[in-house]
Amino acid sequence: AEHQHARYNPLRDDWVLVSAHRVKRPWQGQVEKPPPEDVPRWDPNNPLCPGATRANGEVNPQYEGTFVFPNDFPALQPDAPEPGDSDHPLFRAAAARGVCKVMCFHPWSDLTLPLMSLVEIRAVIDAWAELAAELGASYPWVQIFENKGAMMGCSNPHPHCQVWASSFLPNEACLEDRTQRQHLSKHGVPMLLEYAEQEAIRKERLVVENADWLVVVPYWATWPYQTLLLPRRHVCHLQDLRDSERDSLASIMQRLLIKYDNLFEISFPYSMGWHGAPTGPYLKEDCGHWQLHAHYYPPLLRSATVRKFMVGYEMLAQAQRDLTPEQAAERLRSLPEVHYK
């Protein structure tokens, strides 16, 4: 807790430098604006609201629950042409095709997941699972992710996420596929299943838990209040979750996100996403080395207005954090589970 040291991340096969004493240094750098508290519940000029007109001229239905539609500015398209042949191994290109969708969580713009009911969060989980199964029938990778807050690049305050399905395995998926496969081969048990069992016993990095799930600040966390959401049962895909596991997932997500908001009493920014076994052609293969999990990467470090910057040493050498994962977990664990609002 007092002396710098490096910790190994077996999921990414890399290291993070832990320098807990640095959080005491004075700060005269960038100060962020807190997120707005006066978001209108409905705005006809907000393209994600029910009944609003989007950039492509389409009018949203008067939806009352979740709403999924094709991204009007997709990073991946299904009919992209093949790149030309390379004339040198240092100048390679490959085909990249896919589809991008947007999913609104709720018709109200002033709600976020921690302020939604368990029934409403469960509807989001069911929609995630349905999209994962639908797109995963043909695409090797389906990435569900939420960027929450302007600090994480979110351009619209309406509660929503994105789902990108790609014709290839992205870098992080390839890395986690390799490390989890190697762990199962060497130790005979899926890495994150064993890890969850160990964290449930040790408890020093545990934030919240229930019968089916646990949330920890991982031993190798990079971001200050980064968390990892893990099932207790071996499960490879979001769509494989039992009905009861989806209910308990809604509950533990709500508890975690309330704690996040309560930490600095703001709508807490983060990027989160689900990782599960590859799909499409990989559905015919044995992917038992995989374990479903969700990553939460929040940027805030000291307060609602001071964030952790991943620059300098982090970009040129390796990741570095300014408080121990155990300190972060203890602070989150001690927060109330009733929202400050």
Annotated binding residues for Fe cation: 176, 275, 293, 295
Annotated binding residues for UDP-alpha-D-glucose: 22-25, 55, 71-72, 147, 153-155, 162, 308-309, 313-314, 320
Closest CA to 199 of 133, 277, 113, 293: 293
Annotated binding residues: 22-25, 55, 71-72, 147, 153-155, 162, 176, 275, 293, 295, 308-309, 313-314, 320
CA pair distance 142, 85, nearest whole angstrom: 27
Active-site choice (106, 158, 160, 183): 160
String of b and e for 259-286 (b: at least 16 CB within 10 Å)?
bbbbbbebbbbbbbbbbbbbbbebeeee
Residue 40, classed as helix, strand or coil, is coil
CA pair distance 99, 286, nearest whole angstrom: 25
Is there a catalytic annotation at residue 187?
no
CA pair distance 210, 236, nearest whole angstrom: 19
Structure tokens at 333: 């664990």
Cα–Cα separations (whole angstroms), residue 303 to 23, 157, 180, 307? 12, 21, 35, 8
| Active site positions, annotated | 160
